[in-house]
Amino acid sequence: MTLNRVWTIFYDNIDLLLSGLLVTIQLSLLAFVISVMVGLLLCLGTISRTRVIRAPAILVVEFCRNTPILVQLVWVHFAWPEILGITLTPWQSAVTALALQSSGYLAEEFRAGIESIDRGQVEASQSLGMTYMLLMYRIVIPQAVIRVLPGILNQFVTCFKSSSIVSIIAVPDIMYQASMIVTQTFLPMPVYTIVALIYFLMVMAITWLMRLATRRLPNFGYFHMRPEPA
């Protein structure tokens, strides 16, 4: 395998590869946005004082975190129609499976951030007559999100990389397009080398943007936060 052959295959199939990359990006972004919202709801459920709410929320979080993404994808796409009577398209199944796993990890990230908030702030807010929902919305959650933002962004990288498995249910992502190119050219090594380089460059770019974003945040992170003066 030479660099010239790799470049030739890339140039000849650039339209397919770019269309697959676009699908991968769209899929990852949509799944991640959903997982942030679901993860926050699950987090609030796991810290609820009501056992009826807390127990199911913990069970869902543990299930999402402790089952492989491949198993979740196959389960959603092939088992849900039998178990729940819900039939999803390959795209919908892919988004659902990626969002399920990410939401479990994000729920734990949010919980860690909420539990890191100084108890004095909570007690002071309650003494002023704030309701629980207002306290969480205005005081706790904003600070918790800032503190765990690195973990949240890292989970997006994980979600982006995990999206590579959705090709097994015929979602036309970059891996699916690569498989189509391989069936036409019978050259798996250069094709999958190109795909590996694309993933590498994309993750490097996302990581660089994450670092740039976090540097602009004042008092960022668990260990950089400073208590406000009394």
Query: Using CB atoms within 10 A of its CB, is residue 2 exposed (0-12), middle (13-18) or buried (19+)?
Result: exposed
Instruction: Say yes or no to pLDDT of 228 above 80.
Output: no
CA-CA distance, 73 to 7, in Å (whole number)? 33
Instruction: Say yes or no to pLDDT of 46 above 90.
Output: yes
CATH of 3-215, one of 1.20.140.10, 1.10.3720.10, 1.10.10.10, 3.30.70.270: 1.10.3720.10
Instruction: Say yes or no to pLDDT of 15 above 70.
Output: yes
**176 alpha carbon, distance to own chain's centre:** 20
Report phi then psi at 87, rounded to 5: -105, 125
Reported confidence tier of residue 1, pLDDT bands at 50, 70, 90: low
Reported confidence tier of residue 222, pLDDT bands at 50, 70, 90: very low
Q: Quick check: 9 and 185 in contact, CB under 8 A?
A: yes
Share of the chain above pLDDT 70, in %: 91
Instruction: Say yes or no to pLDDT of 140 above 50.
Output: yes
Residues 6 or more apart in contact with residue 127 via CB below 8 angstroms: none
Instruction: Render pLDDT for 161-176 as a digit per residue (tens, 0 to 9).
Output: 999 999 999 999 999 9
Instruction: Render pLDDT for 54-107 as a digit per residue (tens, 0 to 9).
Output: 999 999 999 999 999 999 999 999 999 999 888 999 999 999 999 999 999 999
37-41, 115-119, 180-184: least confident range = 115-119
Reported confidence tier of residue 142, pLDDT bands at 50, 70, 90: confident
Q: First CA to last CA across the chain, in angstroms?
A: 66
Instruction: Say yes or no to pLDDT of 227 above 50.
Output: no
State the average pLDDT over residues 119-136.
74
C-alpha distances out from residue 158 to 28, 51, 109, 152, 204, Å? 9, 31, 14, 10, 13
Neighbours of 126 (CB within 10 A): 13
Question: What global pTM score does this model have?
Answer: 0.84
C-alpha distances out from residue 46 to 71, 211, 221, Å? 24, 30, 23
